[in-house]
Structure 1
Amino acid sequence: MSMTVQDPPAAGANPSGSAGAADAPVNADARVTDLIRDAIIRGEYAPNQRLIEADLSSTFSASRATVRTALLELASEGLVERLPNRGSRVRAISLDEAIEIIEVRMGVEGLCAAKTALNLTDADATALERLRDDMVASVAEGDLVEYSRLNQYLDVRIRELSRHATASDVLARLHAQSVRHQFKLSSRPQRAKVSVLQHADIIDAIIARDPDGAEQAVRSHLRSVIDALRELES
């Protein structure tokens, strides 16, 4: 049975497309988790900032129970720290730690890209070509918010299409911890112009069913990210 790359969901859209009452609590938990995660990544909550459940409940129009579930999930991802008897705060991730995480991602994301190149169907290839064109167009138009969204979607789809469950689970946890630092880069137009070409190289190698080329393209991109982060910090 083939797996087809789907069009990127619109921002705020429910990926499941289901409105069943039984799914509502699960969807609400996932929605609030996504919203808080995105706010942390964008820097709306600073490292070590306390995350007050009542405030988050008001901000995201969610119950305290839903917010608590979201914070537990984000703690498991390494974005939030749970403090005994004191609630939660944004976990501070140093540049050195973020670089170490990216170095680990280099190997695992390269593996996923190689596996995706081997598993790719014609329908997958067509959808990835469309995604590549959309990413290039968003940068050309200066829409860096849309580019960031498409970038994240590409990461997720490569993991899914790799059909490597263990690698996907590892990356889902690692990616969130380092992406806050990368977000600083993606908001810079000159960096986006470099990054989008690197992502196009990854997609082109996958479409060509070239596992070695896809893996090397991922490694080259992430080495560039590390160099850019160090330059930004200095």
Structure 2
Amino acid sequence: MVGNPPKTPSTADDLTLAIRREILEGGFAPHQRLIEADLSGQFAASRTAIRAALMTLENEGLVERMPNRGARVRAITVEEAVEIVEVRVGLESLVARLAAERLSDEDAAELGELRAGMREAVPAGDLMRYAAMNQELDQRLRDIAGHALAAQLLERLRAQAARHQFRLAFDPARAQRSLGEHTAIIDAVIARDPDAAEAATRAHLTAIIETLRASS
């Protein structure tokens, strides 16, 4: 049976997004060479477009160039991941504070539904669903906060450390603790309490840092 041809990304951003997703979700392993000709076939894109996408991902810290050998997936060490999360503390605390200040009733209802879904997923052992909802929560808080620069910086920082956090997300013990931390953040934002939202966010990220250090 002949397989379907790869879907051609409609824009340069779509192509970059597709390659980024492969890196973050493990389709491309750390240190794996990224050969332009192979990527061109896989994503049905020109080598010029592939080269531009790899340059963007290099600027994001996900890809590195090797002298005379092209590009490969950059391996982020635990130490680097800790530093990335340390930087995120200030930015995500700002986002949580702004979200609590700018929350609409519709936003509150959506966050409440997300909280309910998280409380169902973890006891059921559906950690894939829980990990997806964690990402959705982060995105919703950024949307509500409406701080474009913070959102842009966080997207780049989260991408670099995503592989390590993805691994932590599938630790049942960590997921149980994380559920309480995320619930505290949502509760504070829904209560429109900026101080509590900031404190809960700092506590959550501090716990991630401690877990990362313990895993090294």
For the aligned pair, the TM-score class normalised by the smaller chain equals: 0.7 to 0.9
2:75 maps to 1:96: no
After superposition, the C-alpha distances for 1:156-202 in whole angstroms (9 at most, x for unaligned) are 22122211122122212111111211111012222112112211111
- 1: CA distance between counterparts of 2:123 and 2:55? 39
For 1:39, the equivalent position in structure 2 comes to 22
Pick closer, same or farther for the CA change 1:59–1:195 going to 2, 3 Å: farther
**Are 1:151 and 2:141 matched, yes or no?**
no
Q: Which residue is 1:51 aligned to?
A: 34
Unaligned segments of structure 1, at least 5 residues: 1-23
Alpha-carbon distance between aligned partners in 2 of 1:200 and 1:33, rounded to the nearest angstrom: 33
Unaligned 5+ runs, structure 2: 1-6
Matched, 1:196 2:147: no
Identity of aligned residues (%): 51
Equivalent residues in 2 for 1:27-176, closer than 5 Å: 27-83=10-66, 85-176=68-159
Q: What's the RMSD between the two structures over aligned residues?
A: 2.2
Alpha-carbon distance, 1:85 to partner: 4.8
**Residues 123 and 105 from structure 1, CA distance in 2 versus in 1: closer, same or farther, beyond 3 angstroms?**
same
Q: CA deviation at 1:117?
A: 0.5
Instruction: For 1:71 and 1:119, locate their aligned partners in 2 and report how far apart those are by CA, in whole Å.
Output: 37
- Aligned match of 1:208: 191
- Residues 31 and 193 of structure 1: CA distance in aligned 2, closer, same or farther (over 3 Å): farther
Q: Which moved more, 1:158-167 or 1:77-86?
A: 77-86
Aligned partners of 2:9 and 2:45 also within 8 Å = no
TM-score (norm. length: structure 1): 0.81
CA distance in 2, matches of 1:151, 1:57: 32
Query: In the aligned structure 1, how far is the partner of 2:121 from the partner of 2:19?
Result: 25
Within-5 A mapping of 1:16-27: 27=10
Q: Distance in 2 between matches of 1:35 and 1:76?
A: 16
CA–CA distance in structure 2, aligned partners of residues 186 and 83 of structure 1:
31
Select between 56-65 and 215-224 the one with higher mean Cα deviation: 56-65
Task: Tell me: CA distance 1:77–1:195, structure 2 relative to 1, closer, same or farther (3 Å).
Answer: same
Paired AA for residue 116 in structure 1: A
Task: Note if contact 2:34-2:71 (Cα within 8 Å) is conserved in structure 1.
Answer: yes
| Contact 1:112–1:167 (8 Å) recurs in 2 | yes
